[in-house]
């Protein structure tokens, strides 16, 4: 019996050390996930239009000067690169170096956009009477070639257009949203800025039917939230061809043959514990709207002793638009 116990202990120790070694190595790998998204009546000029998604870095470093991640990105051909939030560990962090170093190494930033996540800092300091300007994180990001997407940006290819919008702003009723802003809490400059953003979004009301509309958000839009948005007259759900998001990390801790144990999602029962596995990562469709969710690159430290990914290799995502012939 004693010999059996010793053998079991040795076996368990070997298994545990192997798991720790594998996890450490896997957390520092990067895979490129390719995904085709078929769109009805896609203009021929946009067939093959490629979007590279980078999300949830959480201050992770992939080698000195982000060497491994930079090499992966620079090996790819794409039309647009999108950063869908959570570049920092938390909104108070000033450790911008991992993200800024990455941006400095990326070669193709001609069309590069960013939407904030829950761990990124406030865009503006609303308690100042100084002229409206972005906080240091966003100023530094834009100095390195990435534009903050606050409303709408349009990329043209030939005579065809792809509109990228901040999803959360695009669903708001402009008049009601502006009415809810209290002047005593914000500056006139900020109020005027919000009006300008809504004016930009309003141009979508007259967009050509052949134009492609892509909503960018950090937070996936679950089925229940879509149902809610479509049932409320206060919201505008547009004819999105695709929504792109991050946030879930694919369920940071994944179990083989089962999947994600937890995702941070208040719209689900148990706040995301044991979520529906077909709504954790990748491509899905609901109410004729396609959505793609990346597992991203880094780790959340919301639970300090679980600040790692398990059976969940970091990834960047190359999404290619194809005509749904």
Q: What is the pLDDT of residues 213-269, one digit of tens each?
A: 999 999 999 999 999 999 998 899 999 999 999 999 999 999 999 999 999 999 999
Q: Which of 186, 220, 233 is nearest to 86 (CA)?
A: 220
Q: Please, what's the largest Cα pairwise distance for the chain? A: 79
Contact indicator for 71, 101 with CB cutoff of 8 Å: no
DSSP class per residue in 194-211: HHHHHHHHHGGGG--TTS
For the entire predicted model, the pTM comes to 0.94
85 DSSP 8-state letter: S
Q: In what order do the strands lie in the sheet with 50-54?
A: 31-39, 315-323, 50-54, 80-83, 112-114, 147-148
Domains in the chain, please, with CATH? 2-323 (3.60.21.10)
The tens place of each residue's pLDDT in the chain, 325 residues long, gives 777 777 788 888 898 899 999 999 999 999 999 999 999 999 999 999 999 999 999 999 999 999 999 999 999 999 999 999 999 999 999 999 999 999 999 999 999 999 999 999 999 876 655 567 899 999 999 999 999 999 999 999 999 999 999 999 999 988 888 877 766 667 777 888 889 999 999 999 888 989 999 999 999 999 999 999 999 988 999 999 999 999 999 999 999 999 999 999 999 999 999 999 999 999 999 999 999 999 999 998 877 777 899 999 999 999 999 998 7
Element (H, E) at 124: none
């Amino acid at each position: 019996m004693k010999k059996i116990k010793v053998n079991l202990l040795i076996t368990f120790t070997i298994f545990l050390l192997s798991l720790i070694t594998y996890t450490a190595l896997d957390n520092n790998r990067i895979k490129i996930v390719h995904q085709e998204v078929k769109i009805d009546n896609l203009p021929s000029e946009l067939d093959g239009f490629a979007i590279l998604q980078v999300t949830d870095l959480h201050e992770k470093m992939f080698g000195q000067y982000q060497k491994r991640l930079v090499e992966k990105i620079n090996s790819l051909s794409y039309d647009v690169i999108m950063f869908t939030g959570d570049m920092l560990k938390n909104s108070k962090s000033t450790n911008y170096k991992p993200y800024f170093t990455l941006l400095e190494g990326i070669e193709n930033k001609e069309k590069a956009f960013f939407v904030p996540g829950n761990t990124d800092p406030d865009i503006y300091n609303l308690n100042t009477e100084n002229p409206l300007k972005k906080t240091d994180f966003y100023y530094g990001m834009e100095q390195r070639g990435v534009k903050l997407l606050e409303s709408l940006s349009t990329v043209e290819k030939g005579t065809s257009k792809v509109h990228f919008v901040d999803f959360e702003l695009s669903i708001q009723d402009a008049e009601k949203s502006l009415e809810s802003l209290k002047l005593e809490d914000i500056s006139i400059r900020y109020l005027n800025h919000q009006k300008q953003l809504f004016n930009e979004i309003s141009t979508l009301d007259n967009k050509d039917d052949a134009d492609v509309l892509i909503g960018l958000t950090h937070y996936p839009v679950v089925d229940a939230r879509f149902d809610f948005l479509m049932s409320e007259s206060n919201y505008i759900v547009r004819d999105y061809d695709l929504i792109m998001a991050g946030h879930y990390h694919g369920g940071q801790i994944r179990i083989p043959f089962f999947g994600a144990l937890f995702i941070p999602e208040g719209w689900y029962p148990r706040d995301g514990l044991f979520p529906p596995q077909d709504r954790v990562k990748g491509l899905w469709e609901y109410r004729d709207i396609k959505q793609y969710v990346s597992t991203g690159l880094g780790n959340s430290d919301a639970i300090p002793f679980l600040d790692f990914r398990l059976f969940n290799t970091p990834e960047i995502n190359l999404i290619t638009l194809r005509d749904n012939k």
